[in-house]
Chains A and B, each alone.
Chain A
Amino acid sequence: MRCLEAVVLCMLKEVEGERTASSVFHLLKGKKSAQTIQDAHLFKLDKWFQTTPFLTMALFDQLIEGLQQSGCLEGDRQRSFVTAKGRDEIKDVLGQIGTFPHLSGWKLGGTAPLFFSRLQLAVQVVSHLAYQDRTYYPITRDEGVQQWVKQFVKKNGFEKGKLAASFHREIRFVLEKQPEHPDCLLLRFSGHSQTGKTIEQTADLLCMEPTEYWFRFLHSLHAVVQTVMNEGEELPLLKQLLSDITVSVPLTESARKTAAYLHKGMKIEEVAAARRLKRATIEDHIVELALNDPYFSIRPFIDEQKEAAVLKAGGSSGVRQLKPLKDRLPDHSYFEIRLVLAKESRGTT
């Protein structure tokens, strides 16, 4: 079984009986919808959020079908359950490969690719400078990244040889710290008289199954980004590469608009009327905001006592099913319960 299948199974296990198989697809793709964003937290699947840019719905469907046929999964797309065989497979595969503890798709899904793109181009430019070689084609065609790296080199390039050496030291430092084989990242760089390898080629050179390589690469990259975030003082160049990447929390566009209205002091009903949306939709947005925005207060929508009641009824112990909670709290609306759960799970990430 490929690493990707094991990851999907592992995620399906978390949502089984409560969500459809497609919800796992949306998580992997990092869909910016209220439902997916909530799921990431409720089921503690946030590390996988937005980690498989290469996956398409068609590929995912094939994969699910394969899992059903091999007896790892039973039930239908609406409600699938991981079988005992499926659980063994997860253990087998991820037991060997590991569970990628540094992977953090939720936090770094947007940051890491841009950081890597800048790093790749910066390494290429600095490498060519060091060898006084001026004839090469840039590794990325992204104009924004090209402009950025140009400024970066201008700012730091006072002594050409020195820049390569400092860059070398910083990269060695982070490569030694991260958990995977350094070649997972290193082989992907282009420089003087050598071109970076594609994902396929790197997997091949490292004798890995391609999706396993992909997750190891991402794992390594996320670990590097976290090191730079935490120990930036020792890594001035890498820190610059990360400096102005502004990651906005993944919010749906629609939730953003709702937030703007709420900000003006409007009530749920008023927002719904102004936006010509259903009340339930606005409530979804509010739950989304509660999940994602650390400064969002749920107080206008639920008072302290009611919040405490939800927590007491089990809302703090990782219970994710709404129905049993609702049964215990007949005076609460589903919205109020979801709101408290959302705020609680925000605390954990």
Chain B
Amino acid sequence: MTIDEHLYQTFGFSSFRPGQRETIESLLGGRHTLSMLPTGTGKSLCYQLPAYMLSGSVVVVSPLLSLMQDQVEQLKMKGEKRVIALNSFLQYKEKNAALLRLDRYKFIFLSPEMLQMPNVMQALRGLSIALFVVDEAHCISQWGYDFRPDYSLLGKARTQLGSPLTLALTATANQKVRADIREKLRLTDVEEWVFSVNRPNIAVNIEMVEEPLQKRVRLLEWVQFLQAPGIVYFSGRKSAEEAAAYLKQHGINRSAFYHGGMDAGDRLLIQHQFLNGEIDIVCATSAFGMGINKENVRFVIHYHMPAQIEAYLQEIGRAGRDGKPAISVLLYVPGDEKLHEFIAESEFPDEGQIRQVTEYGLHPRDVQPPLSETQLRFLVHYAKTADEQGQSRSELIRDVRRKLLEKKAVKRVEMKHWVESKDCRRAAYMQMFHEKASEQLQCCDRCGLDPVLYKMKDRMETAEKGMDWRERLNILLPEF
């Protein structure tokens, strides 16, 4: 079969989206490939399709457990049974059983820390690996959005696996980050396919708001005005919950909140309700969206300014995946960036916590107050790095922490300038990726755009109240 026949017969699509063909042909030609394709355009297809044309397994490294699970479920739903996710949540017994018969799987999803485990590596070395995929590859770079220290070990793992054919995927990586990806993955001879970060069907609107309290009012007005479904992003869990309650109080019934502090089961339910169109507004933190494939999201609102432009682009990228017009609205109050200063600090262990590990020799898990997952990873990773390099733990850890905080500050300032600039929003964000602007209609608030185009046409209502439970049961499990 040709790749076009595969596209149609295996995936049911009639044409490739920009960048897909180029990436796939490059891989089938046996070349390591780094592809930057805009958010939501179908990066997954770039490894899924070749999987069926190459013999051997496809190993996919993914930064987030939930993202991995979403991808496994999506493949399974398409009828592919030979998929597995190896992560730290897998029970010991299940994992060992899976490792024994790893060659039965076409798609093996892994978190980076799994590649640190000797038994996993051993099982992988026994496989013939057709393709080694690094999804969200920008996580490898300290300059990238969502830097993950353990991604930096992927290069070594890749070498240990015999440097298999490699595909690095990202939607947001400027030149610096792309250079980092090549270096860290030890990709010397690599074909790069860089497509625009621009998503022309998403209008960019930034709205200056005088003071924080007024934001709620504006949010409500926007949500009442815009065609749903939509996502509203917040920088904190509490503000997401409060806004969701506020919207509910004002008659926006089909709304809910979503954040990492919720029970995993509840999170899944909200995700399913949103996918099935049972709710159409989700007030969320950045934990929501990655890996969720909803085609018809019509707006994304940012209640707080994101920490950096890449985060902003990823998040608005969840709108308009069907290619139809969508709008993003950012509500900005001067001083919003302060919040991120605080959040950035809290992503790292503080002085006292660092000292407990470096000076008193405590295990990071026993540190008081307890470390968050991110803080723990950070400490463990750099304590190990220091040991390996024969450096002082405390010096190295403090040093890295300071450098990373500085980088975040730089990105924050860049974002703030973008928000405050008088120029075309789109031209400016494209410029940050060294792209030339393209003129278009419905571009941004600076070039002029007409919100009426995004006005609500139909809003669904729910009528589940008042149903008798027997009726409900009968719908759920018909008694024929």
Contact = CB atoms under 8 A, between A and B. Distances in A.
State whether these chains interact: yes
Interface of A: 54, 123, 126-127, 130-131, 135-141, 143-144, 161, 164-165, 167-169, 171-172, 175, 181-183, 186-187, 189-201, 205
A146 to B, nearest CB: 10
Contact of B476 (A123, A136, A141, A169): A123
Given A137-B272, A183-B469, A189 B476 contact: yes
Given A165-B480, A205-B465, A140 B475 contact: no
B90 interface: yes
Nearest to A197: B269
Contacts of B272: 137, 139, 190, 195
Given A137-B275, A140-B265, A143-B94, 8 more contacts: A126-B477, A127-B477, A137-B268, A169-B479, A172-B473, A186-B472, A191-B477, A196-B269
Contacts of A144: 91, 94
A79 B39 CA distance: 58
B478 A165 contact: yes
17 contacts: A130-B477, A135-B77, A137-B73, A137-B77, A137-B268, A143-B91, A144-B94, A164-B479, A165-B478, A165-B479, A171-B473, A186-B473, A195-B269, A195-B276, A197-B269, A198-B266, A198-B270
Interface string B237-280: 00000000000000000001000001111101110110110100
Nearest to A124: B476
Contacts of B264: 141
Nearest to A183: B469
B256 A201 contact: yes
A167 B473 CA distance: 10
Interface residues of B, number: 33
Given A161-B480, A193-B276, A175 B473 contact: yes
A194 B473 CA distance: 11
Nearest to B271: A137
B371 to A, nearest CB: 15
Interface string B263-302: 1111011101101101000000000000000000000000
Nearest to B266: A198
Nearest to A120: B265
A194 B478 contact: no
A139 B268 contact: yes
Contacts of A175: 469, 473
Given A165-B480, A172-B473, A138 B273 contact: no
Contact of B470 (A135, A141, A172, A198): A172
A183 B467 CA distance: 10
A130 B473 contact: no
A207 B465 CA distance: 11
Contact of B472 (A136, A183, A193): A183
Which of B270, B278, B477 gathers most chain A CB within 10 Å?
B477
Given A137-B73, A190-B269, A198-B270, A143 B478 contact: no
Nearest to B253: A204
Given A186-B472, A195-B273, A168 B477 contact: yes
B175 interface: no
B90 A143 contact: yes
Which 8 A/B pairs are nearest by Cβ-Cβ distance?
A168-B477, A198-B266, A191-B476, A182-B469, A195-B272, A195-B273, A164-B477, A168-B479
Given A199-B266, A201-B256, A194 B77 contact: no
Given A127-B476, A144-B94, A167-B477, A54 B268 contact: no
Contacts of B374: none
A168 B473 contact: yes
Contact of A191 (B73, B268, B470, B475): B475
Nearest to A129: B477
A165 B470 CA distance: 13
B69 interface: yes
A264 B177 CA distance: 63
Contact of B477 (A123, A138, A193): A123
B269 A198 contact: yes
Contacts of B480: 161, 164-165
Contacts of A164: 477-480
B372 interface: no
A81 B264 CA distance: 37
Contacts of B464: 205
Nearest to A161: B480
Contacts of A196: 269
Contacts of B262: 198
A130 B69 contact: no
Contacts of A127: 476-477
B44 interface: no
Which of B91, B464, B473, B476 gathers most chain A CB within 10 Å?
B476
Contacts of B470: 172
Contacts of B269: 139, 190, 195-198
A109 to B, nearest CB: 17
Contacts of A140: 265, 268
A55 to B, nearest CB: 12
Which of B264, B273, B469, B472 gathers most chain A CB within 10 Å?
B469
A191 B269 CA distance: 12
Given A161-B480, A165-B477, A172-B470, A195 B263 contact: no
Contacts of A200: 266
A190 B272 CA distance: 10
Contact of B278 (A54, A135, A168, A195): A195
Contacts of B266: 198-200
B474 interface: yes
A136 B278 CA distance: 14
A54 B473 contact: no
A244 to B, nearest CB: 16
Interface in B28-50: none
Contacts of B270: 198
Given A164-B477, A175-B473, A191-B475, A54 B263 contact: yes
A194 B469 contact: no
B69 A141 contact: yes
Contact of A168 (B90, B91, B94, B478): B478
B266 to A, nearest CB: 4
Contacts of B479: 164-165, 168-169
A238 to B, nearest CB: 13
Contacts of A192: 475-476
